[in-house]
Amino acid sequence: MKKPVLLVVDDDPQVLSAIDRDLRSEFRRDYRVLRASSGAEALEILGELTTRAEPLALLLADQRMPGMEGVELLEKARGIFPDAKRVLLTAYADTEAAIRAINNAYLDYYLLKPWDPPQDLLYPTLHDLLAAWQAKYKPRFQGLRLIGFQWSPLSHELKDFLAGYMVAYQWLDFEATTEAETLLQSTGFTPADLPVVIFEDGSVLARPERAAVALKIGLAQKATAELYDVVVIGAGPAGMASAVYGASEGLKTLVIERGSPGGQAGSSSRIENYLGFPTGLSGAELAHRAWAQAVRLGAELLAPQEVTSLCVQDEYKVLTLADGSEVRTRAVVLATGVSYRTLNVPGEHHLSGAGVYYGAARTEARSCDQQDVYIVGGGNSAGQAAMYLATYARRVFILIRGESLAASMSAYLIEQIGQTENIEILSFAEVKEVCGQDHLEEVIITNNGQQERRPARALFVFIGAKPSTEWVQDIILCDKRGFMLTGRDLVSDPRFAAAWKRDREPYLLETCVPGIFAAGDTRVGAMARVASAVGEGSMAIKFVHEYLDE
């Protein structure tokens, strides 16, 4: 933690040096003493402290200074650091001005020159003031801070990105907190520049791309080697399992993730049926643990980075990345996972990220305090989100097309939902339209054939599974829904048999291109569970070994 600051201001160099010396002698153990020779210089220092999130405990200013008198400076400082103690240093002739300042500028105290000896005339007063300040002082958040608008899709995207990488950050809604406005002013940016990210080192980015934020928080986006044994595309449970086993078994392993680690599982607020975690854990926590484990074992990870094309050259696989660079590898594991399908109802595109969210229950839950929220979907992710949101929202409505959750949700979740008073299931229900000017205000739904218009703070969508395979369908054989065909599916059906060119049969998770494997939800016939994805990711490395040994 950074020490609280004591700032002294005086235009007389001798007086400034004397009080600086006395303050350091008595308070340097617990406070950092700064000094300024004018009111303008003091305001610059206050701005820098705000940007760096350093606390100001006390401001001691001389009254008679050219350009800006002490009382004026203390009044301006109150708007920047309202809780800091403010002391006026004055001569006897100015005591009347000091007394007026106590009433008009909320001055905490005034001290007369000279203050010798400080043990009697300076330290007792300052100790009392600082003790009072410490009693109310709450240390500021030390880390990344994000200033934005609650209903800004870009603000939501940054929040979701940071949460996905488990980066601790403080969210400051510009329209809801005076601290956000003061902090933004200290950066030199305006509300038109929001969202603004302030990093712990004091550097600032306005409306940043995710890649710029990733660079600042230490994520790599450039490959370091010319050739890899295996490149894993996607950092969901399947991809991270491949990375852990590949690296632990001595393969030169690279993982490329275009978003946040964890895939769909990463957005789950609580996973309670994964082996070895009896009390459950969040999807983001599971992904973060897997990421750390893969790195410890020697895997290299690039994120956020996207693979835009894949081709085969002389048995090597060449990946082209979004930034134009290329990566060469001997084998590939495609673990690109699936994404939630969009609602495709009127208003959805306009309000996406501004009240309509795909996943992201953990990111936006606190903003739903004592409001009504709606969830579309009946799978485990929807159920986990409902349980998490129920701790904040007034009521949570789960909309499902069928009669009950039994066909698509685990029994333990159904039981928990049934025991939660503020969760209500709406059967045979669909969203027909979402309404609002700059954010979601109402949802129009059909419920048992009846159309209703209801107020809504947020709508969370967890429907369907759209495979992220568009970019490889020119070389990888997929079914009509876009899921990749692997193993026996390639040779058992005459329609696909011609796509396999080797004398041997394809390995269980191998696609129509030898040496390119698919694992997890993106594969035909995959079971949409974390444990099965981890199993497939691990198995894929076994087949990579067999392929490389040919």
pLDDT value of position 104: 63
Domain ranges of the chain: 5-136, 144-216, 227-339+466-548, 348-461
pLDDT value of position 108: 82
Q: Exposed, middle or buried by CB within 10 Å (0-12, 13-18, 19+), for 116?
A: exposed
How do residues 90-103 score in pLDDT, each as one tens digit?
876 566 766 766 66
144-216 homologous superfamily: Glutaredoxin (3.40.30.10)
Q: In the chain, what percentage of residues exceed pLDDT 90? A: 69
Average pLDDT over residues 65-89: 88
Quote the CA–CA distance of 252 and 10 in Å, as a whole number: 62
Q: Is 510 in contact with 543 (CB distance < 8 Å)?
A: yes
Q: Which fold has domain 348-461?
A: FAD/NAD(P)-binding domain (3.50.50)
How do residues 493-515 score in pLDDT, each as one tens digit?
777 777 888 889 999 999 999 99
Is the fold of 227-339+466-548 the same as that of 348-461? Answer: yes
pLDDT value of position 94: 65
Q: Which fold has domain 5-136?
A: Rossmann fold (3.40.50)
Q: Which fold has domain 227-339+466-548?
A: FAD/NAD(P)-binding domain (3.50.50)
Q: Give the global pTM.
A: 0.77
Quote the CA–CA distance of 440 and 431 in Å, as a whole number: 13
Encode 406-419: b = buried (16+ Cβ within 10 Å), e = exposed. eebbbeebbebbee
Query: What is the pLDDT of the chain when averaged over all its residues?
Result: 91
pLDDT value of position 54: 86
3-state secondary structure of 446: strand
Report residue 447 as tokens.
Answer: 């419920």
Residue 293 pLDDT exceeds 90: yes
The H-assigned helical ranges of 137-225 are 153-164, 178-187, 210-216
Residue 17 pLDDT exceeds 90: yes
How do residues 397-421 score in pLDDT, each as one tens digit?
999 999 999 988 999 999 999 999 9
pLDDT value of position 103: 63
Cβ neighbours of residue 84 closer than 8 Å, sequence gap 6 or more: 56, 57, 58, 59, 77, 78, 133
